[in-house]
Amino acid sequence: MKRVSAYLCYARASAAVAVRYRTALLTQVALLLVQVFVLTRLWHALYGTHNQEEGLSVHSTVVYLTVTNLQTLLMSTSVAGFVSYRVRQGSVATDLARPLGFVGQMLAWHSGKAIVLLCIDLALAPVAMLVGGFGAPPSPAYAAWYILLLVTGWALNAFIATLIGLSALWLVQVFAVSAIVRLSGQFLGGIAVPLVFFPGLLRNIADALPFQFLGYVPAAAYVGGLSDGRILRDVGVASVWVVVLGASIWAVERRARRKLTVAGG
């Protein structure tokens, strides 16, 4: 119980830091609205007189893009940079000396900020849908699938960020690695282009990676673009990814602890 309350303190501190830097959050929100505005106009222009492409109507696509961009805000995390900073400063030694798991501390940090981002997302959703497009899931079942897939995607994102953060124990500076993973992840996750529009090889690559669960899969479920069978299969595949990435974190952390050298700080 004491451990849980310690992790909660960590999450509260992370939420407080996120709120303290509210200018950064407001800027993220402004950029998100610009992206929703441009992407939705872009897709309206692309559809032109066509009503339906690849099983998606123009309205579904616009709602999909609004939802994926709102998800992007929720998925933005500072964990990788946070670990990298603490490795450079040497304060990672303090984290490791605490009677709490290092990865647990990082995930608590990720969760604290995520709660703030979720509140912003919920408040922002009507504005973003006004700028982009309004739309609700076709049925309560789809809404439930959406929430489940979003939570799974959020967990996968946290695990990916933690793995990049742990790589700081070897690389020290992970800004570029983090940026490369984030940018390719956003593209292959279908944030700006639904994966159904990807050509064959690119689609296969996107399907083989976990990034689709951060953007495409939940958003496609939200607009009713996935069948029940496909959703069940995706939940299964996402769960396998959670296990694989969780095991990778466990293995990498064990090696990282042996590798770490704190010189001064």
Partner 1 sequence: MQRYLRIYFALQRASVQSSMAYRANVIIMVLTGALWQGGGLAIVLVVLAHFHTLAGWDFRDVAFLYGLRLMAHATWLTPLGSLTGFDFAVRYGDFDQMLLRPVNLFVQATTRPRWFLGLGDGVLAVGVFTAAVLYAPVHWTPGRALLCAVFIGAGALIESSAWVVVAALAFSMTATSQIGQLTDGAMGTLGSYPLNIFGATTQRVLTFGVPIAFVAYLASALLLGKTNGLVVPSWVAYLAPAAGALCFSLAVWFWSRQARHYQSTGQ
Q: Which residues of this chain interact with partner 1, rule CB under 8 A?
A: 23-24, 27-28, 30-31, 34-35, 38, 41-42, 44-48, 53-54, 173, 176-177, 179-180, 183-184, 186-187, 192-193, 197-199, 202
Q: What is the distance between the alpha carbons of residues 253 and 2, in angstroms, rounded to a whole number?
A: 23
* Coil vs helix vs strand at 76: coil
Strand-strand pairing, 52-53 and 56-57: antiparallel
Using the Cα atoms of residue 56, residue 62, residue 67 and residue 73 in order, give the sign of their dihedral: positive
Cβ distance 153 to 75 under 8 Å?
Answer: yes
Burial 201-232 (b: 16+ CB within 10 A, else e): eebeebeeebbbbbbbbbbbbbbbbbeeeebe
User: Measured from the CB atom, is 175 or 250 closer to partner 1?
Assistant: 175
Distance of closest approach, residue 177 Cβ to partner 1, in angstroms: 8
Q: What is the distance between the alpha carbons of residues 79 and 264, in angstroms, rounded to a whole number?
A: 23
Distance of closest approach, residue 86 Cβ to partner 1, in angstroms: 19
Distance of closest approach, residue 77 Cβ to partner 1, in angstroms: 15
Distance of closest approach, residue 186 Cβ to partner 1, in angstroms: 7
User: Measured from the CB atom, is 5 or 51 closer to partner 1?
Assistant: 51
Distance of closest approach, residue 152 Cβ to partner 1, in angstroms: 25
User: Measured from the CB atom, is 6 or 47 closer to partner 1?
Assistant: 47
User: Measured from the CB atom, is 27 or 204 closer to partner 1?
Assistant: 27
Distance of closest approach, residue 33 Cβ to partner 1, in angstroms: 10
User: Measured from the CB atom, is 76 or 248 closer to partner 1?
Assistant: 76
Half-sphere exposure of 5 (CA within 13 A, CB side): 2
Distance of closest approach, residue 202 Cβ to partner 1, in angstroms: 7
Helices 2-20, 102-131: axis angle to 10 degrees equals 40
Cβ distance 217 to 226 under 8 Å?
Answer: yes
Contacts of 150 by beta carbon, 8 Å cutoff, 6+ apart = 71, 74, 218
User: Measured from the CB atom, is 39 or 163 closer to partner 1?
Assistant: 39
User: Measured from the CB atom, is 125 or 177 closer to partner 1?
Assistant: 177
